[in-house]
Amino acid sequence: MIVLDGVHVRLGERDVLHGVDLTLTERRIGVVGANGSGKSTLARLLNGLVLPTRGTVTVDGLDTARQGAKVRRTVGFVFTDPDAQIVMPTVAEDLAFSLRRLRLDPAERDRRVHAALAARSLADHADHPAHLLSGGQKQLLALTAVLITEPSVLVADEPTTLLDLRNTRQVAALLAALPQQVVLVTHDLHLVEEFDRVLVVDQGRVVADDAPAPALDHYRRLMA
Ligand X SMILES: Nc1ncnc2c1ncn2[C@@H]1O[C@H](COP(=O)(O)OP(=O)(O)OP(=O)(O)O)[C@@H](O)[C@H]1O
- Residues lying near ligand X in the complex (CB under 6 A): 11-12, 14, 16, 33, 35-41
Sign of CA dihedral 65, 28, 175, 135: negative
Least distance to ligand X from the beta carbon of 53, Å?
12
Cβ proximity to ligand X, 33 vs 76, nearer residue = 33
Least distance to ligand X from the beta carbon of 209, Å?
16
Least distance to ligand X from the beta carbon of 40, Å?
3
Nearest in space to 36 (alpha carbons), one of 52, 14, 53, 20: 14
Least distance to ligand X from the beta carbon of 34, Å?
7
Cβ proximity to ligand X, 94 vs 158, nearer residue = 158
Cβ proximity to ligand X, 41 vs 181, nearer residue = 41
153-184 as b/e: b if 16+ CB within 10 A: bbbbbbbbbbbeeebbebbbebbeeeeebbbb
Q: Backbone dihedral region of 115: left (phi > 0), alpha (psi from -120 to 50 degrees) or beta?
A: alpha
Cβ proximity to ligand X, 109 vs 219, nearer residue = 219
Residue nearest to ligand X (CB): 40
Count CB atoms within 10 A of the CB of residue 125. Answer: 19
Least distance to ligand X from the beta carbon of 204, Å?
7
Cβ proximity to ligand X, 11 vs 119, nearer residue = 11
Nearest in space to 83 (alpha carbons), one of 41, 43, 129, 142: 142
